[in-house]
Structure 1
């Protein structure tokens, strides 16, 4: 049954163009954004930081649960999916306001044990006008047991019209974590990622994969009106990502062994 979750918070940010240029460089793009320029899709993720004291962080480096996100009694968290509606471009160097609300908390029993899904909505405004609406789906679960089998990942399609290969080494993951103020240890602490959360290496950020797919889609389709994505298996820092696109606006990320890491739709 869904849990009641009325939590709401508002954050304000001036959208410093220098930070946008730093993200462009991290993504291998020429740093060019100046004040007044439209931000590329998904660049808002490097803004609206919520700096917390070390005592207010959980074991994984994220904010401790029980504040804006309720404490669900499950230690592992992942960004499972997202959806965005782009109303009008955000402009660099102009004050913006993000209002966030927890829309729903749902508990389920999965093959690996209890799960909890949290749906969060963000509305971002500039000069009184709404520019962007975003929904995020977060999943919480138990730690894996020592003998727990790894979930079987789906196989990715191979019928793309365009494929761009991207690599995200430890430096890229560090820089993206810093720009998004994301302290989750699975992106920079290999012993923690392997020994506590059971991954084969450092995990490439789900939003970083989504960002890469959005840039591919925008380059082929022009300014996006919306984008929807879902993570289907983690990609490790030592694996190349094949960012695939078809003319209908369907996208996905394929790992070197053929497994599907993410699926998406652009419009």
Structure 2
């Protein structure tokens, strides 16, 4: 692959306002009866509801993402498939509702690799967010670009290993149906077709169905922890396998010291995401 070292260090600054409407929409999506959130504040991971993509319709690619060129922050990688692989987030201070937000995004690293499925390119972005001028969020986000999918959908692998049957202190089941996925896409203005276009997800990108958004799973996991009484100072997650719609999956939590270990487990018992909360 090309040498992308010249892209490392590139940055962009965006501004927004932490309005209340997206927070209310997220509460509805998470089916809150009694809210575990602090009143008047944006909840943990709620910063993903702001700084939404605003690319014009004419520059949207086949996958639903904006096309990458020399004017975009991300490099024009010749690998068509893209996924959010994980993040490491520090909650530095609360974000009041209606606060003025500023986000500085910097490319921290670009690393090409060769995997069993072909070429991969890992891009690490650092997001520094202030609210009314006060440092609020520090996040490192990992994005991976991959080669085209095989000609036919890849079936989900069978569960294996003892971790998939590990007991948890708290378990909650969620049904990821197309309506849940659509509502989250709408909240985050996410046009990636793997989340709502079944023909595209299966026929073009080779998934076994609609793919549940990685940040939605992470949001459900941290919501699971908030319902259990945690007040996170830091959170990290890593996607391990695609989670497909149509069958319930489990949110699992085990207390460890003053924090928690969390994971999402699909209907076959396979772990699709792991997370840690401090």
TM-score over 0.5 for the pair? yes
**2:86 paired residue number:** 81
**1:251 paired residue number:** 262
Deviation at 1:169, TM superposition (A): 1.2
Deviation at 1:196, TM superposition (A): 0.2
Tell me which of 190, 206, 210 is aligned to 1:202: 210
**What TM-score do you get using the length of structure 1 for normalisation?**
0.93
Deviation at 1:42, TM superposition (A): 0.5
User: Which structure 2 residues correspond to residues 174-193 of structure 1 after superposition, within 5 A?
Assistant: 174-193=182-201
| Residues 148 and 108 of structure 1: CA distance in aligned 2, closer, same or farther (over 3 Å) | farther
Distance across 1 between alignment mates of 2:265 and 2:248: 9
State whether residues 158 and 268 of structure 2, in contact with CA within 8 Å, keep that contact through their aligned partners in structure 1: no
Tell me which of 58, 61, 86 is aligned to 1:58: 61
Q: Secondary structure at the match of 1:245?
A: strand
CA RMSD of aligned residues (A): 2.2
**1:128 paired residue number:** 133
| Residues 202 and 91 of structure 1: CA distance in aligned 2, closer, same or farther (over 3 Å) | same
| Residues 51 and 256 of structure 1: CA distance in aligned 2, closer, same or farther (over 3 Å) | same
Q: Secondary structure at the match of 2:228?
A: helix
User: Which structure 2 residues correspond to residues 19-98 of structure 1 after superposition, within 5 A?
Assistant: 19-30=22-33, 37-66=40-69, 67-98=72-103
**1:229 paired residue number:** 237
Q: Structure 2: state its 5+ residue gaps.
A: none
Distance across 2 between alignment mates of 1:170 and 1:40: 24
Deviation at 1:96, TM superposition (A): 0.8
Q: Secondary structure at the match of 1:135?
A: strand
Distance across 1 between alignment mates of 2:95 and 2:25: 17
Residues 88-111 of structure 1 deviation map (CA, whole Å, 9 limit, x = unaligned): 111111111111111111101111
Deviation at 1:220, TM superposition (A): 2.5
State whether residues 18 and 42 of structure 2, in contact with CA within 8 Å, keep that contact through their aligned partners in structure 1: no
**1:218 paired residue number:** 226
Deviation at 1:3, TM superposition (A): 2.7
State whether residues 153 and 208 of structure 2, in contact with CA within 8 Å, keep that contact through their aligned partners in structure 1: no
Q: Structure 1: state its 5+ residue gaps.
A: none
Greater Cα offset, 194-203 or 165-174: 165-174
User: Which structure 2 residues correspond to residues 78-157 of structure 1 after superposition, within 5 A?
Assistant: 78-146=83-151, 152=157, 155=160, 156-157=164-165
